[in-house]
Amino acid sequence: MKKIIIALLGLIVVIVLVLRGVPLLINSYLNNNADRIVSGMITRTSGFGNHEVTFGNIKLDYNYFGTYLEIADIKIEPTEEIPTDQVKVNLHLKEAKITGFRWASFLLDNSIKIDSASLENLEVLTLTPPIDSLNLEKSENKKKKLNKDYDIIGAKCISLKNFNLENRDSRNDSTRLDINNLSVTAHDFALSKEDILNPASLFDVALVHGEIDDINLHFDDFRQVASLKNLVFDTKDKTMHIENFNLLNKLDKYAYTTSFEKRKGWIQLKNGKLEVKGMDFDSYLREGIFEIDSLIASNIELESFTNKRVPENFEKRPAMVHEIFENVNTSIHIKNTQLKNAHILIEERPDNAAPRSGTIFFSDLNASIGSISNHKNDEHQEENNLKINAEAMLMGKGKVNIEINYILDDSLGNFNIRGSLGRINLQEINTMVEPEAKVRIKSGVINRLDFNIFANDLEGEGEVIVRYDNLEIELLNDDFVKDKNLLRRIGSFIASKMIIKSQNPRKNGDLQKGTVYAKRIQHKSDFNYWWQLIFSGIKSTVTGEDREAMIKSANETSAASK
């Protein structure tokens, strides 16, 4: 009996020694072959084909609960054999610490599963040709190549600190995109083969908190840049905050607009702030769907410039609102959008000898937009209207209120626009009228202007009621100033006293209601169409032009623009 006990104790000692020795042997093997093993794990994936990997110090520590891995100075660089149309990646990771690496998952399940990963100071530079010249593989070839990829890469916790990315155009080495100082913490992260195959899916994750110092996206042949600063997002709170966003033009307005053969607008947006609440990050990451409860944009300064000395592009066909929603490939549903304290400056360089551009601005702009959705399923089927309510100050003086309702599922793009303008001295708009029309408003006050218009892609009609007093104009000479030329003074008198009605209601008390009619000029924007419609009603009120004359004039204008 004693011998049996001694034998059992001996066996236990042997087992303990074996169990203790196995990790030592495995650690010895792993550390002696660390470069080859880790390099193979990375370069076997489809994303890093034709790239080579080098390391600084590698430390591997195996136990029965997983392997601890510490790597310094990881570098991935393209080889000389890489095709010119393939994405080239230069990566430098200063330090990586990984705990709980599961060898069973790696060897038996073609998967990488870890407890945690801590990555610090990651620099990535990619060089890519234009997207249309990339070597995009057919789906069947891609699936074959994916056989080299892991079935799933999963981590209970990932911490990434100070990640910097730059993407350059391989043709000219110009920067397309740069992301600076991204730090993110993610829990229960998983990336599968299915995610790689599905263009709408990114990865699966339970909780993410991230911060980015700034993002810059260069586009329009590097003439413009969209910039975001101090971006913070959190999946637990379902929020995203952008402290400052800008859309900047690298060329001044004249250099930009004259660089094209046909007319193209110059636009710039500055100093915006964005708050997103109730964002369903899971829907976006798994299905590419934007589901947002509230989006608030504040303090936007928008500047628009049109150079009318550049020939118009009569072949251009700007999309109407309902067409824009039809053409958006991404599924969007934003329950409420607000615009707060915006400022819009509109400037036009007339196609005449005016010494300056015409300008007009709207300040203190606040707007509320109802549900924005292009969902095709039953859940949001009733939300087929885009409703906008806005208020602003015209030239900082006249209060503007406007309501717009677009029917998004209507093939003709039917919409209704109604609103009002409060009291304003008409001399305030001479900054736009004088350069554009060679006319100066000497006097006049709008007491109130109301409009209600129904329109579609082709034409619109409605009613404008403008109440005004003491309207008087004068014609300007070729130098765009008043002079003593007798014929011009007579012309100003005839225009002010005979053609244009000086007040409404008239002296007899009759209130003249203006008729609205205009045909959409197909190569011009929605905003131009709005102005066409409202101005037709103002013109009808001031001149007494009837509907038949307006239709004739609209047909002539439409024919001339073709």
Can you spell out the DSSP letters for 331-346?
A: -EEEEEEEEEEEEEEE
pLDDT of residue 136: 47
- Which amino acid, 404? I
Stretch 60-80: mean pLDDT, rounded? 75
pLDDT at 63 over 70: no
- Does any domain span residue 354? no
Strand partners, 441: 473
- pTM higher than 0.75: yes
User: Contact, 246 vs 226, CB < 8 A?
Assistant: yes
Last residue of a domain, one of 279, 313, 347: 313
- Count the domains in the chain: 3
Residue corresponding to tokens 């008390």: 509
pLDDT of residue 2: 46
pLDDT of residue 43: 54
Cα gap 404→462, rounded to integer Å: 14
Is residue 76 located within the same domain as residue 192?
Answer: yes
Cα gap 322→453, rounded to integer Å: 18
Domain that holds residue 22: 1-32
Give me the chain's average pLDDT, please.
Answer: 81
Q: What percentage of the chain has pLDDT greater than the value 70?
A: 80
What count of other Cβ atoms lies within 10 Å of the Cβ of residue 553? 16
In terms of C-beta density within 10 A (0-12 exposed, 13-18 middle, 19 or more buried), how is residue 93 classed? buried
Is residue 52 located within the same domain as residue 82?
Answer: yes
553 or 7, which is more confident?
553
Is residue 24 located within the same domain as residue 130?
Answer: no
pLDDT of residue 439: 79
- Does any domain span residue 17? yes
List, for residues 463-477, the tens digit of each pLDDT value.
Answer: 999 998 988 877 765
Q: How confident is the model at residue 148 (pLDDT cuts 50, 70, 90)?
A: low
In terms of C-beta density within 10 A (0-12 exposed, 13-18 middle, 19 or more buried), how is residue 77 classed? middle
460's tokens: 């619109």
pLDDT of residue 22: 39
Is residue 272 located within the same domain as residue 180?
Answer: no
pLDDT of residue 21: 40
Q: What are phi and psi of 46, to 5 degrees?
A: -65, -30
401 or 68, which is more confident?
401
Structural element, H or E, at residue 283: helix 281-287
pLDDT of residue 224: 96
pLDDT of residue 490: 42
Is residue 58 located within the same domain as residue 176?
Answer: yes
Give CB contacts under 8 A, 24+ apart, made by 18-25.
23/62, 23/63, 23/64
Last residue of a domain, one of 214, 237, 263: 214
pLDDT of residue 40: 57
pLDDT of residue 507: 80
pLDDT at 537 over 60: yes
479 or 255, which is more confident?
255
Residue corresponding to tokens 């636009």: 267
**Rg of the chain, C-alpha, whole Å:** 33
Strand partners, 100: none
In 3D space, the residue among 52, 58, 59 whose CA is nearest the CA of residue 76 turns out to be: 52
Stretch 76-85: mean pLDDT, rounded? 81
96 or 556, which is more confident?
96
Q: How confident is the model at residue 377 (pLDDT cuts 50, 70, 90)?
A: low
- Does any domain span residue 541? no
In 3D space, the residue among 538, 537, 535 whose CA is nearest the CA of residue 527 turns out to be: 535
342 or 505, which is more confident?
342
Is residue 201 located within the same domain as residue 244?
Answer: no
